[in-house]
Amino acid sequence: MVEVGDIRKGMALIIDNEIYIVLDVNKHFTGRGSGIIRTKMKNIKTGYVREFKFNSGEKVEEASLSLRRVQYLYSDGDLFYFMDLETYEQYTLDRKVIGDALYYMTENMELDLQFHDSTPIGVVLPNTVVLEVTETAPSFKGDTVSGGGKPAVCETGLKVTVPFFVENGQKIRVDTRTGEYIERA
C-alpha cells in the first residue's frame, strides 16, 4: 500500500481490481494541512483515461511490475508479437496496449515489456531510437539560412520535423519521450 501523497507519474496502481498507470498528479492543499490529490490514470486493459480524487492520508495498492527483455518480431493488423530473449516465449499485445509506442518500434528491435504477474501490460521504449526517413521534401540551396526545419515521415509512420539537410533514405535518431529529431544516425 502506498499513501496517495506519494503517488508519482508512471506508477502502476490497483483500483477496483483494475491496473492503472498514473499519467498526471496534482496536489491541492487547504489552509489546515489536509489536501486533495487529483490524478489522471490510464486503465491498462481498456486504454481509457479516468480522473480520480483522493483525500490526503488515504492509501492505495501499488501494482508490482516486472520487466523482461524482448525482441519485437512483427505486427499483424492490430496485434503485435514479441519474443522473450531468455525463454524464447512469445507474447502478443493489442494496439490499444501499445499506444503511441508503435511509432518508435521497428522489427527485430530489442526493448522491455512490462508485466504484472505473468501478463504483459505495456512496452518500455529506449530513450532514443534510429528510424529511416521515408518521405520528406527535397532540400534546396539556401534553405539552411532561415533555420527551422521541414516535415518528414519515418518508416513507422512517425511524423517529425527535421533540418533541411535530411533527405529520404537517411537514418535519424529520435527521442521517444518527446518525439523530436535529435541528430542524423
Which residue segment(s) compose the domain that 36 sits in? 2-62
pLDDT in tens, 53-87: 998 888 999 888 888 999 999 989 999 999 999 99
pTM of the predicted structure, to 2 decimals:
0.71
Q: Answer yes or no: do 13 and 51 share one domain.
A: yes
Write down the pLDDT at residue 8: 86
CATH of the domain at 22: 2.30.30.30
Q: Which cell numbers hold the place of 104?
A: 518508435
Write down the pLDDT at residue 143: 55
CATH of the domain at 108: 2.40.50.140
Q: Answer yes or no: do 25 and 37 share one domain.
A: yes
Residue 175's CB is within 10 A of a number of other CB atoms, namely 14
pLDDT in tens, 20-50: 888 889 988 777 767 888 999 988 777 788 9
CA dihedral of 134, 135, 140, 142, whole degrees rounded to 10: -90
pLDDT in tens, 84-134: 999 999 999 888 778 888 899 999 999 999 888 888 888 888 889 999 999
Residue 12's CB is within 10 A of a number of other CB atoms, namely 19
Q: Answer yes or no: do 77 and 97 share one domain.
A: yes
Contacts of 112 (CB under 8 A, 6+ apart): 67, 68, 69, 70, 123, 124
